[in-house]
Structure 1
Amino acid sequence: MVVAGVLAGWAGRRLLGGLRRGAVVPAGWCEVGVSVAWGVIALRGMPWWWIAVPLLLAWGGVLLGVCDLRVHRLPDALTLPAYPVTAALLVLAAWHRPEVAVGSVAGLALFGGTYLLVRLVAPSAMGGGDVKLAGVLGAAVGAVSVPAVVGVVAAAAALTLLGALSRPAGAVAHGPAMVVPSWLVTLFWP
């Protein structure tokens, strides 16, 4: 799984570099990030019908996190296709655990709705990419546990605050703070 992660990270880094609104990323960043995450997933062991969810969150999360850290942007070319891909994976999971369907919809509404509300009330406080990513992450986390969505939102805010306090000034990437707790929730279920 680690070798596959290196290859997926390499392909993702190349993809990011080729996107119109992507980012040029130094060699190794995506490769190491994805391979470590996928290695952890392999060690964790989980049902075949669920494993694709944390694999996807790890791959997409590394790419989006690196892009956000480099250029403070979460490109639509990655966030928008994540909706149908995540939906397909969650439909598969719902065949095995029917409660996944309701939890996913509730998580999408809760995480995505919260971020959309913040964006509408204070547009400078949150980027549009964060709002788009929140819906996908909410669906995945909600599939595990709707109350966990609230915890992930709180953790993302806390991690972003820590990032802001560690920088003297300037923009703070919020994407990585959203992805890491979301991925951890999907990693430790079922």
Structure 2
Amino acid sequence: MFVSVGATATRLQSQILGEQGERAQAQARGVLAELRRRAGQPIEQDPLSLEKTLLVLSPALNENSLGHGDAASPSEAAAFHALTLFALHMQSSTRPMHVRGVSFATACGRLYAQSESASLKPRFDALLLARSSRARLNHTRSMVTLLRGEQLGFDYAQFANDLRALDYDDRRAGVLLRWGRDFAMGRFRSAADSDTTSDN
């Protein structure tokens, strides 16, 4: 799933930024608009959600990641949420928002470092402390919207992997701990970069 989401985000991003011609750009614009409408919504609320996500993914999810019953598998749900939030993130963007090697929480920490809003850190803390996946998803959507406003991107392949891990009780605490660390380090590194720039 990690490879599939990353490759799909890279392709759609390249197309929407006009790197593959006008026809590809127009097609990507339609795909992202459709995905964006589902951002932050439970996958179960729309019977077309899973189908549309699986059709967009290239390469496709491997057999072990696919569900086999009446509910989406953790990998399918994570791919759906990652791609719909990516579509939201790319709305009106003129630069890449899928940035390899930058975690979601690091980007949030960078946003905090350059923001004057006193509510940003409490919002991120609420995400970490959310008791349900639905509440966590709502907070995540809110953070992605704020990141879009400042044109700060992150790695959607890694993000999808983290979303999948959050569905497992034995892995959730580790992901949230890492997000807390990444947020703090993103804030400090961004502040250090600003200090270096102002000294030059």
Question: Could you tell me the TM-score, scaled by structure 1's length?
Answer: 0.32
| Larger gyration radius, structure 1 or structure 2 | 2
- Name the structure with the higher helix share: 1
- Larger relative contact order (CA 8 Å, sep ≥ 6): 2
